[in-house]
Amino acid sequence: MTEVQCNTCHARVAGYDAVHFGSIGTGYRELCSRCFNEEVARRGQLKFEHVGFEPVNMPDAAGVKRRFHFLLRLLGDQVALEAFEVQGGERGGYEFQILDDAEADPFELMARLVERMRRAILLRHLADDGLRLSIADVTVRGRISCDLDSDYHHPMLVIDGREVSWEQFGQMLMTFEGWQFKLEIKDRSEEV
């Protein structure tokens, strides 16, 4: 796992908990989420108290326990609460985000996000017969990620919390050859 030392409080935190903060003019610093949020709050003169939420386990549709980490990030006049899984020390699998005004209550945000996550991870879009993956019904929800192994900047899709390559997804669509589709893209903070 990548660890980063916070330039302000010197705590060692996981790479996914650190923010590369600054600008070309002032130089960059690595900050933990707490120090980052405190600095943004101070600059914006916001009333804000950081909360470091503990990870939460939640069973998905197949009964598999999913462990979610949380990050609270102050983004100027908004606050984002993110939930994500960690695979091999990095962010991977399911990811969720909720946005609100900077001075919103983080615990209330957490309650709303957890509700949304519960609904989302109980949905199944893929069917796996052990040999190949297929689209279980006629709707697919997921996240567009990047396939770092692809030479052509192909997307990597994350569906049901698992990575599905662009090629794999193309093969799945061939079950529906001749059908139509509607593709709608939404901001990461929206519920799909």
Instruction: Name the residue nearer to Zn ion (CB basis): 21 or 166.
Output: 21
Q: Judge contact between 135 and 172, C-beta under 8 A.
A: yes
Residue 7 Cβ, how far from Zn ion at the closest point, in Å?
8
For residue 187, which of 78, 105, 87 has the smallest C-alpha distance?
Answer: 78
Instruction: Name the residue nearer to Zn ion (CB basis): 12 or 118.
Output: 12
Instruction: Name the residue nearer to Zn ion (CB basis): 41 or 133.
Output: 41
For residue 17, which of 88, 66, 56, 71 has the smallest C-alpha distance?
Answer: 71
Residue 9 Cβ, how far from Zn ion at the closest point, in Å?
3
> What residue type is 65 in one-letter code?
K
Q: Judge contact between 11 and 4, C-beta under 8 A.
A: no
Residue 6 Cβ, how far from Zn ion at the closest point, in Å?
3
Q: Judge contact between 29 and 103, C-beta under 8 A.
A: no
Residue 88 Cβ, how far from Zn ion at the closest point, in Å?
24
Instruction: Name the residue nearer to Zn ion (CB basis): 66 or 69.
Output: 69
b/e map of 13-36 (b: 16 or more CB within 10 Å)? Answer: bbebbbbebeeeeeeebbbbbbbb
- Interface residue list for Zn ion (CB under 5 A): 6, 8-9, 32, 35
Residue 151 Cβ, how far from Zn ion at the closest point, in Å?
39
Instruction: Name the residue nearer to Zn ion (CB basis): 36 or 96.
Output: 36
Instruction: Name the residue nearer to Zn ion (CB basis): 8 or 134.
Output: 8
For residue 116, which of 81, 151, 147 has the smallest C-alpha distance?
Answer: 81
What's the CA dihedral at 29, 90, 73, 162 to 10 degrees? 150
Residue 40 Cβ, how far from Zn ion at the closest point, in Å?
13
